[in-house]
Structure 1
Amino acid sequence: MNRRNFISKSTGTAAVSLLPVSFWSSLWLQEFTIEELTGKANVSFYGKNYQLRKEVNKAFLKMQAKAKKEGIHIQIVSAYRSYERQTQIFNAKFNRYTKQGLSGKDAVNKIIEYSTIPGTSRHHWGTDIDIIDANAKQPKNVLMPKNYSEDGPYCDMKIWLNKHSEKFGFYIVYTDNPKRKGFYPEPWHFSYKKTSVAMLKAYQDIDFKKIITQDTNLRGREFLTESFLNTYKKEHILDINPALLP
């Protein structure tokens, strides 16, 4: 029996309220496995040239079709990303930055301006998308904040998304709120709220620190201390658009 069916068949509010917090946490993890939450599961995904969960892809196609009628072609450049792929990205950046002269610690801090530590990426969930306007004249580097600004090639798309994306369930994750910490603002990164909020709720109950520190293939892992990861969770995982918090 899944979590939703169990709740609907509970005997009453009073009985439900007596159940311990650990019980509800276990139900969240029954719905989403640790492997799913960290990009290590073999999950069925949908999409053309990208991978998303079924309900997320359905909502995206509706949003894409609506925007297309108004001259904007929303194109996904990154959706689901496996643990292995995120590790490749992280390690490549670590190698590049250290070769440029940064210390290992500084290289890690440079990486997490925009890139996540493997096992902590929202892209592991199949709920999040990085998008561009395929109708615009494409710059050399597409995922740059300036491309979504007033003079950028994706400005019209960004204005359209500001007005309409939430109607289709998609919310920007890393806002430009000056009080927000963690990742730099990403005007290209949107998340399907209905599913990602539930997955973030489940994610908070797993020991992601153990998964990270035991990965001998991860470059710079010696700098990912308990203190560092506690701050990383607070600022990079949880300091996001409040609308996407459980």
Structure 2
Amino acid sequence: MNEAASAQNSREENQTSTSAAQSTTQSTIQTTTQSTEGTSESQTDDFPNVSLDDWSMVLVGPKYKIDQEISQSGLSKLSNGYLVDKRIVSAYDDLAAAAKKAGYPLVMVSAYRSVAYQRKIFDANVDTLMARGESKEAAEKTTKLTFTEPGYSEHHTGLAIDVVDQAWYQDHTTDVLDHRFGDTDGGKWIQAHAREYGFIVRYPEGKYDITQIDYEPWHLRYVGVAAATYIEENQLTFEEFIDQVKER
């Protein structure tokens, strides 16, 4: 083969090699782009379709005073005598039935509380401490460690409930609302399954800096199944979830 022919063949081989490389690169870029787009779309689709205006998204807590207390007509009495927002009755009944089937029958110890009632028990505790010699300021500060200030309790919404299982209730008559409940089989079942019925453990462990309330494995809050699942799977507080809703 002469030098001219050899050079021509070399150029053709280089062009073929370059073309193949470009094709491979383009294919890789396209595949990567599609994969990234797919991941982004999947993450977007995972976020619950909720609005801050939804009735189940009302945020109440030590830093968030309730805007408007639920009306009496919006409440419904459960079979145990406690009042809740009538829109969560079926969800709670389903949760209670599932817990009973799993071997952890629930005992409710608190549900809806009016602002007026919260004020009554708050002031009563302040009066008790003052009778023991504390100043009013000190008594109020101490009371806030145990009782939520009137107007700032989730129980005003009718969407919050305090529940434990029957075994714990029977064995802890003087300290029912204790964080150790979260370490029991019943407490663990609630943590794992409450979301399936639209409830979250509102004050999770290690999140005091955000919620301003210590770990309460018994305190459940209704937010809807989609939101509850997202919150629990991503280990968020309700405050953090609301912040994400605001950003969207």
Aligned with residue 186 of structure 2, among 157, 161, 171: 157
Q: Does 1:113 align with 2:117?
A: no
Q: CA deviation at 1:40?
A: 6.4
TM-score with structure 2 setting the length = 0.59
Q: Any idea what SS the aligned residue of 1:69 has?
A: helix
User: In the alignment, is the contact (CA less than 8 A) between 1:112 and 1:183 conserved in 2?
Assistant: no
Greater C-alpha radius of gyration: 2
Q: Residues 243 and 131 (structure 1 numbering): CA distance in 2 closer, same or farther, change over 3 Å?
A: farther
Match of 2:174 in 1: 141
Q: Any idea what SS the aligned residue of 1:68 has?
A: helix
Aligned with residue 103 of structure 1, among 135, 156, 171: 135
TM-score with structure 1 setting the length = 0.60
Aligned with residue 64 of structure 1, among 96, 102, 123: 96
Gaps of at least 5 residues in structure 2 are 1-50, 59-64, 228-236
Code of the aligned partner of 1:47: L
- After TM superposition, the structure 1 = structure 2 runs for residues 72-221 of structure 1, keeping only pairs within 5 Å, are 72-136=104-168, 137-150=170-183, 155-177=184-206, 179-180=209-210, 182-194=212-224
Q: Report runs of 4+ in structure 1 exceeding 6 Å deviation.
A: none
User: In the alignment, is the contact (CA less than 8 A) between 1:114 and 1:184 conserved in 2?
Assistant: no
CA distance in 2, matches of 1:144, 1:127: 18
Q: CA deviation at 1:145?
A: 2.1
Code of the aligned partner of 1:144: L
Aligned with residue 68 of structure 2, among 2, 20, 37: 37
Aligned with residue 77 of structure 2, among 40, 46, 56: 46
Match of 1:230 in 2: none
Code of the aligned partner of 1:110: T
Instruction: Report sequence identity in percent.
Output: 24
CA distance in 1, matches of 2:138, 2:107: 33
User: In the alignment, is the contact (CA less than 8 A) between 1:97 and 1:107 conserved in 2?
Assistant: yes
Q: CA deviation at 1:95?
A: 0.7
User: In the alignment, is the contact (CA less than 8 A) between 1:36 and 1:124 conserved in 2?
Assistant: no
User: In the alignment, is the contact (CA less than 8 A) between 2:203 and 2:211 conserved in 1?
Assistant: no
Q: CA deviation at 1:240?
A: 5.5
User: In the alignment, is the contact (CA less than 8 A) between 1:128 and 1:190 conserved in 2?
Assistant: yes
Q: CA deviation at 1:66?
A: 0.7
CA distance in 1, matches of 2:192, 2:66: 35
Q: Any idea what SS the aligned residue of 2:205 has?
A: coil
Q: CA deviation at 1:175?
A: 2.0
> What is the alpha-carbon root mean square deviation over aligned residues?
3.3
More helix by share: 2
Q: Any idea what SS the aligned residue of 1:45 has?
A: strand
Q: Any idea what SS the aligned residue of 1:120 has?
A: coil
Match of 1:242 in 2: 240
Q: Residues 149 and 44 (structure 1 numbering): CA distance in 2 closer, same or farther, change over 3 Å?
A: closer
Q: Residues 109 and 46 (structure 1 numbering): CA distance in 2 closer, same or farther, change over 3 Å?
A: same
